[in-house]
Amino acid sequence: MTLKFKASDVSDGGMHTFEVGDQKVLVTRDGEDFHAFDALCPHAGADLGGGVRCGSRIVCPWHHATFHAGNGSLIEPPALEGLKQYRVKRDGESLSVDLDDEIKPQPPKPSHEDHHTVIIGGGASGFMAAQTLRHGGYAGKIIMLTAENRAPYDRTALSKAYLSGKKPADKLALGGPDWAKENKIDLREGVKVTKLDRDAHEVHLDGDTLGFDAVIVATGATPNTLSIPGAELDGQYQLRSFRDAEKLKEAAQGKNIVVIGSSFIGLEAASSLVEGAKSVTVIGKDAEIMSRALTPKVGRAIRKLHEDKGVKFHLDAEVAAIEGPQKAEAVRLKSGETVKADLVLLGIGVKPNSDLLSDLANEKGAVPVDAHLLVAPNVYAVGDIALAPTVLGEMRVEHWRVALQEGMAAAQSILESSDLEKMDQRVPFFWTQQYGKSLRYVGHAESLDDTHLWGNPDELKFIEFAFKDARAVAASGMGMDKDLAAFEELLRLGRAPGAADIRKGEFSLVERLKG
């Protein structure tokens, strides 16, 4: 198939999606240079033409994966690869793109042939580090050690598509089922690392020792547990690993489910399980759901999505005990009220697995790193354990996209890549999906004492801004994807609008980005 268009169809410095049969092609323009790509984001299939263009960056409207407007290469996850590119031919003002004429990217020059990198952890950060090393031409040895008996997989799908039955287990693998073999990764599953000797450049396992030139510690986090009467009873579940999700999915059908915790993981699980459950009740200690990220007005609108599906809530409530002779049968609140529970799901946060770097961690278990993710010479800490710099300052973020960013940045640092975008140049972002509706959150706010709302949360079309020192530092939103993508770029550039400007009334963040 061939796409034909006029030069005037694409604005200078802009982009446009064209339909060719059942395919979509994205064309970018910079002066007289035109480039053509697959228009659908390889992460989740969003039309990139509905996103924003900022200089050489194409930002996906859904999950903010970012690609180079000239060659389609990946700049920011959660996409794991760049865009397929096609050759553009020009005859005067007429241009054409033959979809059989693909431009294959030039493989990078091999480097680090005698180098050895050990990656401790098979989650998002570890996967992205290995992927970036290989895609960047790293020709040395890569060993990945994971405690799970499973290759790296999409953990974000566990509480969403996997629990709801929309994505089977064999579709969860990151990079595909043969990723490790195809990328020459020595993946060792079910492995426990007992010690990291930074001075000797050694990783100690049960019965084995590995040397390294660089080591990436990506050990993730462990779910918190309750310290109350009945905490030892059977019938209580967590949701962190595939095995957790598998056991929960098998046990939940037709049951009275109580979710303890009213933040993202618990609510995603509630939305995924309610259809097949006898009942779902969420217990939260705060006065409204997701209170660390959303004001009560927005939280109420999201809660209504759940209540309309039959989920019940006990908020501003504390759990006093889990009751039952051998397994959980009820949850008793401090108010004295009891909630019937055949199954209890704990969604009460996590703690970083920083034992291998405990001497460098702070009192909360977070490991301070620099903008290259270095914690010591040739030692990198990434993902849930890392206290890393961002454009908004130093923070430890437990979200998928940030974990991928950190793995990518650490690998680019090892490669000494010209594409290196350090962590202090990156913006935190996460999303949650409940009942097919996506809430997206850009930036980071320590408090919600100073906020302003555009739009109407009850109509699920809004952006809520949070301010610090009279500047916008975070925004959550639904139904205004393009503006939210533009807001991330404004934050990255240090051009986020001020509180006074935002309070004057709604304006286009996309146009502000162009200005």
Residue 296 covered by a domain: yes
Domain boundary among 103, 136, 165: 103
Q: What six digits make up the tokens of 459?
A: 């109509």
Alpha-carbon Rg for the chain in angstroms? 24
- The backbone torsions φ and ψ at residue 74, rounded to the nearest 5 degrees and listed phi first, read -75, 130
Residue 230 covered by a domain: no
Full DSSP string of 126-160: HHHHHHHHHHTTB-SEEEEEESSSS--B-GGGIII
- What is the structure's pLDDT at 419? 82
- What is the structure's pLDDT at 417? 87
- What is the structure's pLDDT at 429? 98
In three-state secondary structure terms, 114 is: coil
pLDDT at residue 36 greater than cutoff 90: yes
- What is the structure's pLDDT at 421? 86
Domain boundary among 54, 69, 103: 103
Q: What six digits make up the tokens of 109?
A: 């020059």
- Find the mean pLDDT for residues 114-126: 98
Does residue 370 sit in the same domain as residue 295? no
Residue 111 covered by a domain: no
- What is the structure's pLDDT at 264? 95
- Find the mean pLDDT for residues 477-495: 98
In three-state secondary structure terms, 511 is: helix
Q: Which domain holds residue 206?
A: 116-222+351-425
Full DSSP string of 367-405: EE--TT-EEETTEEE-GGGEEEEETTEEE----HHHHHH
Residue 108 covered by a domain: no
Does residue 250 sit in the same domain as residue 329? yes
* 502: exposed, middle or buried (Cβ count in 10 Å: 0-12, 13-18, 19+): buried
Residue 430 covered by a domain: no
Q: Say how far apart CA 257 and CA 272 lie, in whole Å.
A: 12
State the CATH number of the domain containing residue 14. 2.102.10.10
- Find the mean pLDDT for residues 336-343: 98
State the CATH number of the domain containing residue 323. 3.50.50.60
- What is the structure's pLDDT at 420? 83
Does residue 287 sit in the same domain as residue 319? yes
Domain boundary among 331, 348, 365: 348
Residues 220-275 pLDDT 10s: 999 999 999 999 999 999 999 999 999 999 999 999 999 999 999 999 999 999 99
- What is the structure's pLDDT at 80? 97
Residue 68 covered by a domain: yes
At 183, the pLDDT band (50, 70, 90 cuts) reads very high
- What is the structure's pLDDT at 207? 85
Does residue 55 sit in the same domain as residue 143? no
Residues 297-318 pLDDT 10s: 999 999 999 999 999 999 999 9
Does residue 125 sit in the same domain as residue 271? no
Does residue 473 sit in the same domain as residue 458? yes
Does residue 372 sit in the same domain as residue 295? no
The total domain count for the chain is: 4
- Find the mean pLDDT for residues 105-129: 97
- Find the mean pLDDT for residues 495-506: 97
Residue 439 covered by a domain: no
At 166, the pLDDT band (50, 70, 90 cuts) reads very high
Does residue 313 sit in the same domain as residue 377? no
- Find the mean pLDDT for residues 7-24: 97
Q: Say how far apart CA 507 and CA 515 lie, in whole Å.
A: 13
Single pTM value for the model: 0.97
Does residue 375 sit in the same domain as residue 474? no
- Find the mean pLDDT for residues 373-384: 98
- What is the structure's pLDDT at 323? 98
- What is the structure's pLDDT at 515? 83
Does residue 133 sit in the same domain as residue 217? yes
State the CATH number of the domain containing residue 495. 3.30.390
Q: Say how far apart CA 277 and CA 50 lie, in whole Å.
A: 37
- Find the mean pLDDT for residues 117-135: 98
Among 351, 350, 348, residue whose Cα is nearest residue 331: 348
pLDDT at residue 418 greater than cutoff 90: no
Q: Say how far apart CA 428 and CA 275 lie, in whole Å.
A: 32
Residue 227 covered by a domain: no
Does residue 463 sit in the same domain as residue 402? no
Does residue 361 sit in the same domain as residue 343? no
* 110: exposed, middle or buried (Cβ count in 10 Å: 0-12, 13-18, 19+): exposed
